[in-house]
Chains A and B, each alone.
Chain A
Amino acid sequence: MSGDGQDDALRAAGIQAHLDDVSVKLSRTATWSGLETKASYGPEDVAETDYARDLGDPGEYPYTRGAYSQMYRSRMWTLRNIVGYGSPEDTREGIENALKMGTAGINVVIDTLSQEAIDPDHPILSADAGQEGCSLPMVSDLEILLRGIDVTKTDIAWHSTMMTYPLVAAMATRQGKDLSQLQGSHMPDHLQLRLGGWSEAIVPAGLGHRTTVDCIEYSAKHSPRWALGCPQAYDIRERGMTAAGEIAIGMAIINQTFGDLIARGMHVDQVAPSMAWVSTSDIDFFEEIAKFRALRRVWARTMKERFGSVDPRSQRLRLACHTSGRSLVYQQPLNNLSRAAVQTLAALLGGVQSVETCTYDEPICIPTEEARELATRTQQILANEIGAARTADPLGGSYYVESLTNQVEAEALAMLAKIEAIGLIKAIEDGTIESLMDDYNYRHHKELETQQRIVVGVNKYMPKTSTLPKRFRFDPTRMTAHIERFKQRKAGRDAQALAQRIDALYRIARRRENSHQAMIDALVADATIGEVWGTVRCANDLPYDPFKAIESPFTYTKP
C-alpha cells in the first residue's frame, strides 16, 4: 500500500472520530437520579391522577401546580445573588456592587469559620477566616456590614445557620429596635450541617437538632416576620442525594422539627407560614420540575393531615432555590452558563419563589464580578425574552411530567418511611443517611467511569484547550486589620458583665432549656460567637473548642 493510502485511511479515521465526537446520541434513558423512563407517555400513565385531589388549580390545595394562583404575574421570583468574602468591609462593598447590577435584596454568606461558630483568632484555624464568606464573629462586625441599614425594614437573606439569628437579634437589641419587627431570613437547619460535613465533632445531631427547634420556637414567638429557610435541603442534595431523596430527608427533618415544636405547645400554623424550603435545581430538567411539584403536594398533605394545619399559608410551600453547584464542572467552565440557564428555567417552570443562579466559575473559585453579572443576566433573559413567567405551571397536564411527579413522590415517601422507622436522629447518628449519600456518590462515580452517565468535558467531549478563567482574589489587608480589631475589642470588654452573661447562658443550656435569649444577651455584651457556642458546647459535655486548641476562658457555675 502506498503512503498516500495510509494517509487517507488515517484522515478518514480522524473524520469518523470527529463525527462521533459531535454527533448527539441518547446516552441515557433513566433520569439523573436513576428513575427509568419510557419512550413516550399517554393518558394511561396518569389515569390514577385526580385533578382536584392530586393537582388542584395553582394556588389551591394541594398546591402541586403552584403556591399562588397568579404565580409570576402577581409576583416575580426574587432574583438573588449571594455575596460574602473577607472582612465586613469587603462584603459591604460586594453587596453595594451586586445591588447596582440588579440583584434584589441583600444576600449574605458568612465564612467557613463563622459558619462553624469559631472565632477568627483561633490559634490553628485563622487562615480560614474570610474564606468563602464574610467573617462575622461579633455584633460590632455586623454593625459594620450593615451600617445605615435598618434590619426591621430591610429583607436580608442570610445563607447561614449557626448563631445567625441570635447575632442579628442582638444587634437589633443593641440598637433599641423592636425584635417583633425584625425582617429577613436565615436557615436554622442544624441537622443539615451535621450531614453536610460539619460532622459530629462540630454539630452533634442531638444538640444541633435541639438548637434548630430552640431557634424556630424563639424566632416564631419573638420575630414573627423573620423567615426560616428550613429544611436546608440544598446542601443535603448536593452532598449526594436523588431528587426523591431531597424530599425524603427534608420532610424527615420537617416532621421531626414540627413534632418537637408541637410537643413544646406550639401549633403548626404559628410556624409553617414563616418557612420556606431551600432547594436546588439540578441538571435533570424534567426531574427537577417534577420534584418541585411533588414536593409542594407532599408538604401540603403533611401539614394538613399529619399536623392538623388549618391555615392555607402553612400548607402552600414556598421554595427558595439555588441552582446546583455540584452539576457544574471545572473543565471548560463556560459550559456552566448553559447548565445554569437550563436549571434556572426548570426552577421557574417548577414554580419557585426565588432563584439564585450559580456563577459559571463556581467550581473554580469565589465568583468573580464578571461571572456574577452573567448569572444575573441569565435570569433577566429568562424573565424578559424566553417567556418562562407567562403562565403558572406551564407543564401541568403533560403526561410525562405528571407521571414523573407521581413517581418522584412515591419514591420519596418510601424512603421517608424507611428513615422514620429508624428515627431521623438515630439514622443520622448511626451513619445510615451518610451511607445513602456515600452509595449515591459511589454509584455516580461508577456510572461516569463506565459512561452510563455523560458529563460534557468530564468523561466525554473533552475540551481541546484548557484555559481557565481568572481566579477571584481579594486584598487580605482588611482581613488582617479585622482580626487585629477583633482581638482589641475582646481585650476592651467589660469582663465582669460578660462573664455574668456567659455563666447565665451556661446554666440555662445545662438545664436543656431554650438558650436563645441568653445567647442574645451574651452577644449584646460583646461575647463572640465562638464564646457563646463554646459555652453551649461545654454545657452539653463537649469540648469548648472542637479542635481542642483552646480551653474555655470562663468559669461556669455547675447547677
Chain B
Amino acid sequence: MSVDSQVDTQDADLQLIDALARGELRIAARLITRIESGDSSVASILSKLHARGGNTTVLGVTGPPGAGKSTLVDRLLQQFRHRGQRVAVLAVDPSSPFSGGAILGDRIRMNQHSADEGVFIRSMAARGRLGGLAVAAGDALQVLDAMGWDLIVVETVGVGQSEIDILRHAHTVVIVQTPASGDAVQSVKAGLLEVGDIFVVNKADTAGADRMQSNLREATAFRADPHDPACWLPPVLKTQATYGSGIDAVIEAIDAHTHHRLTHPARWAQRLRAQMRVLLLEQLIDLQRRRTVEDPAHQQRFERALDEVLARRCDPHTAARKLLDASE
C-alpha cells in the first residue's frame, strides 16, 4: 500500500467517524452492512473505533424463542424514552440453516417506536457464522457506540454458544424465561446462569411462574459469595411484558446493576477482562478458521487434508497442525 493511499484511508476513516458522531444513520447502517458481509476493508475503521470506544452502556437481553424478549425490549424502550434517553437496538436473529435466508421480525413488536428519531433499531441475521457472530455483533456495537446513543440494547436468542458470547459485550445482561420454558436448570443454559445479571420470568400470569421464579433463585444461588457480601446477586423478577406490568422493577434492577458496577470498579475491571478474554479468543479462532478453511486458497488444502484423514493416511491431530503451519 502506498503512503498516499494510507493517508486517504486515514482521512476517509476520520470522516466516517465524524459522520457517525454526527449521528448520520445511513452511514452507520451501511458500515454495519459491510461488517455483516465480512468486508475486510472495515478493519482500519474498527481499529480506530475501538481506540475511542467503550463509552455507551450496553444492555444485553436474551432468552428462548417465544419468551417475549422483543416485547420486553419494546416496553423498556418506552421507559427509557420517557426518561429522555436515546437508544439504539441491535436485534440478532437466527438464519435458516437450509437457505441462509432469514425472517427478521423483531421490529414489529417495537413498531410503536418506528417514527421516533430517538430510537434506532437494526436487525442482524446470524448467517451461520458459528463463533464469528459474536465478533460481527461486537463490531456492529462499536459502530453504535461511536454514534453517541445514551444506551445500546442487544437482543439475541439464547440458544447457541455464539449467541451467548454476544452477551459478553454487555454491561448488564437480562435473561428472559417463561413458566413454559420448563425446568430452570435444564432450560437455562449453564452459560446463561453465569452471565445473567437480572433474570426475568415473563408471562407471569401463566401457571408455574412462581415455581420458575424460585427455581431460578435456587439455580443462581451459587453466584452469592459468602466472602464478599457486596457481590451482585441477580434478582429474579416477574413481568407480563404484553401488559406492561413488572417493567418498572426491571428498570430499577438495571439501574441498580449499573450503580453496582460503577461503585465496584475493581470488580468490573475483573469482569471486563474475563469478557474480553473470551472475545479475543473467539476472534483468534475465527481468524484461524477463515485462514485455514474459508479462504479459497486454503480451501483446497483443507479438502486434501480431509481426504488424507478419511483414508487414514494421516490422523486429525497431525493434519490440523499441518494446516495451521501452512497458513502462517
Contact = CB atoms under 8 A, between A and B. Distances in A.
Interface of A: 199-201, 204-206, 422-423, 426, 429-431, 541, 543, 548
Nearest to A423: B206
Given A423-B206, A426-B206, A430-B68, A201 B112 contact: yes
Contacts of B115: 548
17 contacts: A200-B109, A200-B242, A201-B112, A204-B242, A205-B242, A206-B242, A206-B243, A422-B180, A426-B203, A426-B206, A429-B242, A430-B66, A430-B68, A431-B66, A541-B244, A543-B112, A548-B115
**Top 9 closest A-B pairs, CB basis?**
A430-B66, A541-B244, A429-B242, A201-B111, A548-B115, A543-B112, A426-B206, A206-B243, A548-B112
B175 to A, nearest CB: 18
Interface residues of B, number: 13
Contacts of A204: 242
B303 to A, nearest CB: 35
Nearest to B205: A426
A426 B66 CA distance: 11
B183 to A, nearest CB: 18
Nearest to A540: B243
Which of A205, A422, A429, A541 gathers the greatest number of chain B CB atoms within 10 Å? A429
Contacts of A548: 112, 115
Contacts of B243: 206, 541
A205 B205 CA distance: 15
A422 B205 CA distance: 12
Interface in B84-113: 108-109, 111-112
Nearest to B115: A548
A449 to B, nearest CB: 16
A204 to B, nearest CB: 7
B96 to A, nearest CB: 13
Contacts of A431: 66
Interface string B5-39: 00000000000000000000000000000000000
A204 B108 CA distance: 13
A288 B244 CA distance: 42
Which of A206, A422, A426, A431 gathers the greatest number of chain B CB atoms within 10 Å? A426
Contacts of B68: 430
Which of A204, A422, A548 gathers the greatest number of chain B CB atoms within 10 Å? A548
Interface string B108-131: 110110010000000000000000
A206 B206 CA distance: 14
Contacts of A200: 109, 242
Nearest to B103: A438
Nearest to B78: A541
Nearest to B66: A430
A541 B115 CA distance: 19
A422 B206 CA distance: 9
Given A200-B109, A200-B242, 10 more contacts: A206-B243, A423-B206, A426-B206, A429-B242, A430-B66, A430-B68, A430-B203, A541-B243, A541-B244, A548-B112
A493 B66 CA distance: 47
A204 B112 CA distance: 13
Nearest to B114: A548
Contacts of B108: 199
Nearest to B75: A541
A199 B206 CA distance: 22
A201 B109 CA distance: 9
A238 B112 CA distance: 28
Nearest to A204: B242
Nearest to A431: B66
Contacts of B112: 201, 543, 548
Nearest to A430: B66
Contacts of B242: 200, 204-206, 429
Contacts of B244: 541
A429 B109 CA distance: 11
Interface string B243-274: 11000000000000000000000000000000
B231 to A, nearest CB: 35
A436 B275 CA distance: 41
Nearest to B242: A429
A206 B242 CA distance: 9
Nearest to A549: B115
B69 to A, nearest CB: 12
A141 B111 CA distance: 32
